[in-house]
Structure 1
Amino acid sequence: MARCSLYRYQCSQYGPESTLKKKKKKTGGAGYLASFLIKTLLSRGYTVHATLRNLGDSTKVGLLKGLPGGETNLKLFEADIYRADEFVPAIHGCQVVLHLATPLLHSHQSSKYKNTSEAAVDGVRSIVDACIRSGTVKKLIYTATVMAAAPLSHEDVTSFKDSMDETCWTPSNFPTPYHHVDLFAKYTQSKIAAEKEVLSYNGRGIQVVSLVCGLVGGCETLQSVISESVGLIVSQVARDKNRYEMLRFLEELLSKVPLVHIQDVTAAHVFCIENSDINGRFLCANHYLKSIKIASYYQQHSPLITIPQEFIEDSMRETKWGSRKLEEAGFEYKYDYKMILSGSLECAKKLCNLLN
Structure 2
Amino acid sequence: MGKNKVSRVCVTGGSGYIGCWLVKTLLEKGHTVHATLRNLEDESKVGLLKSLPNADTNLLLFDADIYNPNDFKPAIEGCEFVFHLATPMQHTSQSSQYKDTAEAAIAGVRSIADSCIQSQTVKRLIYTASILSMSPRNDDGVGFRPLLDESCWTPLDASSTYGNEFTLGYIKLKTLAEKAVLSYNDFGDSKLEVVTLPCGLVGGESLLSYLPLSVRVILAQLTGDMFSCDGLNLMQEFMGSVPLVHIDDVCRAHIFCMEQPSMKGRFCCAVACHSIKEIAIYFQETYPEYKIHKELIEGPEEGSKSDFSKLKKMGFEYKYGIKEILDDSVAWAKKLNGSSFSQAV
The interval holding the TM-score normalised by the smaller chain is over 0.9
CA-CA distance at 1:316 after TM superposition: 4.0
CA-CA distance at 1:160 after TM superposition: 0.3
Partner SS, residue 49 of structure 1: strand
Report whether the alignment pairs 1:161 with 2:166.
no
- Alpha-carbon distance between aligned partners in 2 of 1:249 and 1:352, rounded to the nearest angstrom: 26
- Alpha-carbon distance between aligned partners in 2 of 1:234 and 1:197, rounded to the nearest angstrom: 33
Which residue is equivalent to 1:92?
77
Which residue is equivalent to 1:188?
171
Partner SS, residue 144 of structure 2: coil
> Which structure 2 residues correspond to residues 104-119 of structure 1 after superposition, within 5 A?
104-108=89-93, 110-119=95-104
Report whether the alignment pairs 1:215 with 2:198.
no
CA-CA distance at 1:37 after TM superposition: 0.3
Q: Which moved more, 1:285-294 or 1:106-115?
A: 106-115
Q: Is the 8 A contact 2:239 2:303 kept in 1?
A: no
Provide Cα deviations, 1:210-256, integer angstroms capped at 9, x if missing partner.
Answer: 001000001x2111111110000001000111110111011101100
- Alpha-carbon distance between aligned partners in 2 of 1:314 and 1:193, rounded to the nearest angstrom: 27
> Which structure 2 residues correspond to residues 136-285 of structure 1 after superposition, within 5 A?
136-154=121-139, 156-179=140-163, 181-202=164-185, 204=187, 205=190, 206-218=192-204, 220-285=205-270
CA-CA distance at 1:176 after TM superposition: 1.2
Question: Scaled by the length of structure 2, what TM-score is found?
Answer: 0.94
Partner SS, residue 325 of structure 2: helix
One-letter code aligned to 2:209: S
Report whether the alignment pairs 1:291 with 2:296.
no
Structure 1's 176 and 49: CA in aligned 2 closer, same or farther, altered over 3 A?
Answer: same
Question: Scaled by the length of structure 1, what TM-score is found?
Answer: 0.91
Which residue is equivalent to 1:341?
326
CA-CA distance at 1:172 after TM superposition: 1.1
Provide Cα deviations, 1:305-352, integer angstroms capped at 9, x if missing partner.
Answer: 210112111434252112210000100011010000111111111113
Partner SS, residue 184 of structure 2: coil
CA-CA distance at 1:166 after TM superposition: 0.3
CA-CA distance at 1:153 after TM superposition: 1.0
CA-CA distance at 1:203 after TM superposition: 5.3
Once superposed, what is the RMSD of the aligned Cα atoms?
1.2
CA-CA distance at 1:110 after TM superposition: 2.8
- Alpha-carbon distance between aligned partners in 2 of 1:53 and 1:118, rounded to the nearest angstrom: 18
- Please list every run of 5 or more consecutive structure 2 residues that lacks an aligned counterpart in the other structure: 1-5
Report whether the alignment pairs 1:47 with 2:28.
no
- Alpha-carbon distance between aligned partners in 1 of 2:122 and 2:186, rounded to the nearest angstrom: 13
CA-CA distance at 1:278 after TM superposition: 1.9
Partner SS, residue 208 of structure 1: strand
- Alpha-carbon distance between aligned partners in 1 of 2:330 and 2:209, rounded to the nearest angstrom: 15
**Residue number among 115, 119, 126 corresponding to 1:130 in the alignment:** 115
Q: Runs of at least 4 residues of structure 1 off by over 3 A?
A: none
- Alpha-carbon distance between aligned partners in 1 of 2:63 and 2:106, rounded to the nearest angstrom: 20
Q: Is the 8 A contact 2:150 2:266 kept in 1?
A: yes
Q: Which moved more, 1:95-104 or 1:160-169?
A: 95-104
- Alpha-carbon distance between aligned partners in 2 of 1:60 and 1:129, rounded to the nearest angstrom: 28
Share of identical aligned residues, percent?
48
- Alpha-carbon distance between aligned partners in 1 of 2:120 and 2:173, rounded to the nearest angstrom: 29
- Alpha-carbon distance between aligned partners in 2 of 1:113 and 1:33, rounded to the nearest angstrom: 26
Q: Is the 8 A contact 2:124 2:193 kept in 1?
A: yes
Structure 1's 278 and 248: CA in aligned 2 closer, same or farther, altered over 3 A?
Answer: same
One-letter code aligned to 1:280: G
Provide Cα deviations, 1:59-112, integer angstroms capped at 9, x if missing partner.
Answer: 111110111111110000001111111100000000000001421221335341
Structure 1's 354 and 228: CA in aligned 2 closer, same or farther, altered over 3 A?
Answer: farther
- Alpha-carbon distance between aligned partners in 2 of 1:203 and 1:69, rounded to the nearest angstrom: 38
Q: Is the 8 A contact 1:304 1:355 kept in 2?
A: no
The structure richer in helix per residue is 2
